[in-house]
Amino acid sequence: MTLAPDIIELTARARADLRMGVPVVIGSSLVLAAETLSDKRLKALQIAGMPLALAITDWRARTLKARAYDTDLARIVVPSDAPVDWIAAIADPADDLNAPMKGPLQTLRDGNADDARLAIQLAKDARLLPAVVVAHLDAPVDYAAQHSLTLLDADALARVSATVSPLHPLVSARLPLEVSEAGRLHVFRPEDGGEEHYAIEIGMPSRSEPVLTRLHSACFTGDLLGSLKCDCGPQLRGALAQMGSEGQGVLLYLNQEGRGIGLANKMRAYSLQDQGFDTVEANHRLGFEDDERDFRIGAGILKSMGFSKVKLLTNNPAKLSMLAANGLEVVERVPLKVGETRHNTDYLATKAAKSGHLL
């Protein structure tokens, strides 16, 4: 038996490398995250004469008026003398309004974009901006070995990226809560080294009957700080209170901050909202989809706990369809309309108009 890491472990290593600014090799491409790219590494690539491209999502490309020949992404030619600030300005929309003219930007039409596509997803999984610098390698295995870089087989990475990492129950313990002394906390750990997720079980709900359920995505600002910009905190407390009142229920606390883009990117989105963009427009300018969360995680946890039928506390129809598509029967949608303030009225209106929330 070999002690070498498998593709799942190599992918976890690659996420950490990108966050620290260390290059990785995907398929036949050298990849660096635009957000963590250092001037030193960029100059080393330029001295070596390596043609570079900056891959961004089609959402970011639309903002920059860059042609996305690859449909879902654009590969922008990086000038041979471009400073690291040029790349940062393309990747990060923070100063778009102050410096709107970033072009003309030349984008690649030819060549395979598969490595770049996988690299952008890896950057998203690392909670970085979805923008990566890529360079073609004639001998990727030799290059990775020479520079001690993590090497990922593209086909294997594609298979890993398309699946949800199995979640395993780690530990559970009794946890008396304000809403119910009959509380229990379950911790689930994914195989891929990602963030753990939690299930708060109230009472002893039957596994043969529909259980009152809430899929709640972590919100540091709303849940912990009492932010008035969203309704997350009131929804969390309201759902637990209703479960306590009924004597049973399950609340899943999923670590998918900011609709799956992470806290740092959520704060970037907040900054863009201060410039006049709504919550969906801000996500798009950053290069993200409206919602990057994966509700298959919640479905997997519920099934592993023995539940097959739920009464779902939500205003988001997407959660109903996602659970149903993953083998759970949603017998009822229970509205959860709480937490509107003068600070989040526009935010809630945007969720209703653009994301289909029933508010």
Catalytically active residues are 291, 293
Question: In this structure, what token pair is assigned to residue 241?
Answer: 């209170």
List Cβ<8 Å contacts ≥24 apart for 12-20. 12/192, 12/193, 12/194, 13/150, 14/122, 14/150, 14/152, 15/122, 15/125, 15/126, 15/193, 16/126, 17/149, 17/150, 18/122, 18/123, 18/126, 18/128, 19/126, 19/127, 19/128
Question: In this structure, what token pair is assigned to residue 153?
Answer: 């087989």
Q: What are 33's strand-pairing partners?
A: 132
SS3 label, residue 92: coil
Contact 188, 197 (CB under 8 A): yes
**DSSP 8-state class, residue 224:** I
Class of residue 14 by CB neighbours under 10 A (exposed 0-12, middle 13-18, buried 19+) = buried
d(CA 276, CA 270): 10
d(CA 75, CA 53): 6
